[in-house]
Structure 1
Amino acid sequence: MAPKRAPARLSRAVYERELARLQIELVKLQEWVRHEGARLVVVFEGRDAAGKGSTIKRLTAHLNPRAVRIAALPQPTDRERTEWYFQRYVAELPAAGEIVLFDRSWYNRAGVERVLGFCTPDQYRRFLQQCPVFERLLVDDGVLLRKYWFSVSRDEQERRFRTRIEDPLRRWKLSTVDLESVSRWDDYSRAKDDMFVHTDIPESPWYVVNGDEKRRGRINMMAHLLASVPYREVQFPPVTLPPRPKGSGYARTDRRLLREVPDHAATLK
């Protein structure tokens, strides 16, 4: 069988037009979640440099940070290491009317912790047993849970890592753990496959996003999320700008008495 031909690269014009349309729909989704008191959790997992962060950035670009929150937890503290593993993630779950996007999640245990030896074999086995139960409890309580795995080819990941090394704006994204993913490619592949066997359940299935072409991956992920939630446009009463009142004679402070930011723009050519 001949290998499947990769689709043509998505043009910037098509991408930006569809991105704008999807972002409008995401605002509608946000307002529906707020109006209905729904709780939406979106898990972003996958290979390093597969496009998770850039997708989250575009997804949240026009959303209200009071209603949509990104949970990107740091390494656990000494105290958190003694807690039930899911405990610190439970604290990040949404209340009614909120959306939480997990930029990495409880699946750290099935990925980086397992591959790099940050958890014991018993802790790993316990995670695989408890995770499906934990997610079933969330869904049974009414939480809308969506899980996305961002995939990227080995060559493309290496290319992106090299770009990060050379780019001062993105060098901070490259950690020692990221570099480990280059030499541990097969280990991470095995960990991901084992994780899917145990946690790709009907109540909360995994959806794989091909991230080799970032524009296509972002569009595909956002379109799928919108299609998976039965939201509708919430109708609000029309807003009318009130007339400007007549001045009361109040004299504002002389601007010469204020500390204004220097006009740096005026120095540019």
Structure 2
Amino acid sequence: MTQLLEVAEVEKDFGGVRAAAGLSLTLAEGEMLCLIGPNGCGKTTLFNLVTGALKPDSGSLRFAGKDLIGLEPYQVARLGILRKFQVPGIYPELSVAENLTVALVGSEEAGDARLADLLALARLEGKRGQEAGRLAHGEKQWLEIAMVLARRPRLLLLDEPTNGMTAAETAATVALIRDLHRRFGCAVLVIEHDMGFVRELGCPVALMVRGRIERRGSYEELQADPLVREVYLGAVEPA
């Protein structure tokens, strides 16, 4: 498989705290990977480095063969790396359909058919005219994911997409992410703490500890790994 994202031996220090310590990670074109690890291990730092919000102290970051170091976030986004944050970034006073219409501005695919497709993906066909601010928490998350997809990413970064969701919303989010990955074919990198979600997503998993990727494999392989068990029992780092 063609490598899309290549992170190699990246270092990032914050006043003596090493958020990235020889961090290396690859993601192939169209691959989906779930990134787990205790709080403070560097997961969000990785996202910030990849999107240009932070500059590494050393190491290399490449996307589709292009050097990411030195690019501004808007330049990284133009390459096709798009990020969904934990807190929904929607326009609460606009309707669901209007939010998606705004996201489609400038797109060659803007139009009723594309809008209907995104509404269906977000499971919001019946709420197209409702103010986005009145949606349930999970629905707001789904709307923003659809808004990001309107820009046709090659790499979609999802930062704890089920944070604050009910069990039913979490299950629906699993289905949505699997659906978008199948239909759009973009690579997806997901940060998540909910191991039930990770299991149901059914994709490879990578464990980060102290700024490094320490394990990578299937959910079953990592579940049985002594280091993973130690980390999630809180013996390696605070959860």
Give TM-score scaled by structure 2 length: 0.41
State which structure, 1 or 2, has the greater radius of gyration over its C-alpha atoms. 1
- Say which structure is richer in helix: 1
- Say which structure is richer in strand: 2
